[in-house]
A and B are shown apart, each in its own frame.
Chain A
Amino acid sequence: MIIETDNLTKMYGKKAGCREINLSVGEGQIFGFLGPNGAGKSTLVKMLVGLLFPTSGTARILGKPLGDLEIRRKVGFLPENFRYQDWLTGEELLTFHASLYKMSRAEKARRVPEVLEQVGLADKGRQKVGSYSKGMQQRVGLACALLPDPELVFLDEPTSALDPLGRREVRQIMVELRDRGKTVFLNSHLLSEIEMICDRVAIINKGRIITEGALAELLAGAVEVEMQVEGLSAQLLDELSALYGSYQVEGGLVRLSLKNNEDIPALAEAVVRNGGKLFSLNARQNSLEDLFIDLVKVGDEECLQ
């Protein structure tokens, strides 16, 4: 496992930042970490990169305990509240970080232009970081994180300051990293982004992980269906009720929930068999947003009880 945590907990006085986090992140995947504001996402990442010290529990990164300096040479990190020495040029900033990574002169000479190119700042390397736009600063931060060609990279809201084009470029970078066997730990508010590229996700709320698993498995299941039917007979509605439980009828529109996609042909057949004229049938898979909102809402309700 690339990341393994065992009951990792961070308390701020009596308030929990993260509580009993048990996570396992395997190699060569993009792991999405989601949660509402203040849920403890950044607290976990900060513990894993060595900015915060856990109150209890343990964690291993690339097989070594937290704080191992040799392992840190293989880990990249882009912080959420990124800010860099604005009096350095982009190249100087990267050279400084390359020195912190203890890279040789030859490695620096090779990697600095490479990562600048990778994040789309090849022609901006000699400009002062202070003259960069917010999006460019985020890009140069990403370049710092990618500098040692890390085995594991933590990206905390990596696209928050980017325009749609920039977001797409960063997504491509993450996918390329995964394709090369690297692991990306992505903290993001952008559910669509996570849905697009993540292999596995974990959702955290009020400091606790409330679900974790492969994205495809989490999203598999209930399918919402909307049909436009003419000739809704009592017989047809009885059959729908018997087969699928509750349903809603509004004029000629029927809405109901199926267990999965496999039930759709049987539904269409039932309508036709009972004399209904089926004009359209739209099926919608639950989105990550639906899942996220449902889980966070349930978590909040449980906390209130």
Chain B
Amino acid sequence: MFTIAALTFKEMVRRRILLVTIVLAAAFLALYGMGVHYGYKDMGSSHYAGPMQALIAPMFLSLGLYFGSFIIAFLAVMAAVGSVSGEIENGVIYAVVPRPLRRLDIILGKFIGYGLMLSVFSSLFYVAVLLIVHYNTGLNAPVRAGAIVLFCLQPVILLAVTMFGTTFLSTLANGIGCFMLYAVGVVGGMLEQIGHLAHSQVLVNIGIVSSLVMPADAVYRKIVYALLSAPGISFSSMMMGPFGSASEPSVWMLVYTGLYIVFFLSMSIRIFSRRDI
């Protein structure tokens, strides 16, 4: 299992997947940093400087985390989309499966390899966004281990679904399916926030159902709620609009998310262990 995990991690580095992601993330963070810096500074010279600045700082934070989640979600899906199907299509797996290891080890090894890389990347990204906002706006959003773990959890959810799809779908079908599923979560999460603002129970219910189908967005809402309701931050996360979190997803949502990951990972092991190659 760890041999496969190490190879998976090495593959991400050798095939420059990690490098390209880091370079593009750096470009994103540079652009984001400039936006935060000049947006906050220029707003300071306006007539409503005080209240507007107090509003824009957390908005910048939620925006950074929101689009960061987006980038990492793409990385999770793109990295793992062909991890089994692609290797069956190109034949690499023919020499691996007959070796003395269980098929379970192949799936778990790949999951650990990708999961580790995504977690390291997510943690760094999260801290970078918080530091950019803090140094440019003075907003004191605390760097909490719990929030970092939740931020890392988002790509892991997608990774589990992608690993599930790659055991029985073609690479292309799996990629399309995973992105569509992610989009369902994102759109549903936004509709839920709009539902809270517009007092529409129907939209809120759509959001709840979509977060059960794909809980990644609900995890993002929990992070935002936790960060923006920290002591010393005097505003409502309602003010963030679709990027905020009007109500905190419960701890049961996290339990559900954990079970969701275990379910898809178990199913991918089960399918791959019985599959003819």
Q: Which residues in chain B, 75-101, are within 8 Å of chain A measured between CB atoms?
A: 90-92, 94-101
Pull 24 A–B residue pairs with CB atoms less than 8 Å apart, ordered by A: A49-B98, A50-B97, A52-B276, A53-B276, A69-B100, A69-B101, A72-B99, A72-B100, A73-B100, A77-B95, A77-B98, A78-B95, A79-B95, A81-B94, A83-B91, A84-B95, A85-B11, A87-B11, A96-B3, A97-B95, A97-B99, A100-B100, A100-B101, A101-B99
In the assembled complex, the CB of A158 is this many whole angstroms from the nearest CB of chain B, namely: 13
Chain B CB within 10 Å, residue with most, of A46, A49, A82, A96: A96
Residue on A with the closest CB to B96?
Answer: A100
Contact with B along A37-80 (1 / 0, CB 8 A): 00000000010011111000000000000000110110101110
Q: How far is the CA of A247 from the CA of B13 in the complex (A)?
A: 73
Interface size of A in residues (CB-CB distance below 8 Å): 29
Q: How far is the CA of A233 from the CA of B151 in the complex (A)?
A: 101
Q: Which residues of B contact A (CB under 8 A)?
A: 3, 7, 11, 14-15, 90-92, 94-102, 274, 276-277
Contact of B100 among A46, A51, A102, A144 (CB under 8 A): A102
In the assembled complex, the CB of B105 is this many whole angstroms from the nearest CB of chain A, namely: 9
A141 within 8 A of B: yes
CB neighbours of A79 from chain B (8 A) = 91, 94-95
A286 within 8 A of B: no
Q: A101 near B276 (CB under 8 angstroms)?
A: no
CB neighbours of A72 from chain B (8 A) = 98-100
Contact with B along A81-113 (1 / 0, CB 8 A): 111110110000000110111100000000000
Contact A144:B95 (CB < 8 A) given known A96-B7, A99-B3, A100-B101: yes
Q: How far is the CA of A70 from the CA of B101 in the complex (A)?
A: 9
Residue on B with the closest CB to A53?
Answer: B276
Contact A100:B99 (CB < 8 A) given known A81-B94, A82-B94, A87-B14: yes
Contact of B277 among A52, A69, A83, A96 (CB under 8 A): A52
Q: A101 near B100 (CB under 8 angstroms)?
A: yes
Give 4 closest A-B pairs by Cβ, nearest first.
A83-B91, A79-B94, A72-B100, A100-B99
Q: B274 near A53 (CB under 8 angstroms)?
A: yes
Q: How far is the CA of A190 from the CA of B135 in the complex (A)?
A: 72
Q: How far is the CA of A75 from the CA of B274 in the complex (A)?
A: 21
Residue on B with the closest CB to A100?
Answer: B99
Q: How far is the CA of A97 from the CA of B11 in the complex (A)?
A: 15
Q: How far is the CA of A88 from the CA of B3 in the complex (A)?
A: 14
Q: A141 near B95 (CB under 8 angstroms)?
A: yes
Besides A51-B97, A81-B94, 6 other A-B contacts (C-beta < 8 A): A69-B101, A72-B100, A81-B91, A85-B11, A100-B3, A100-B101
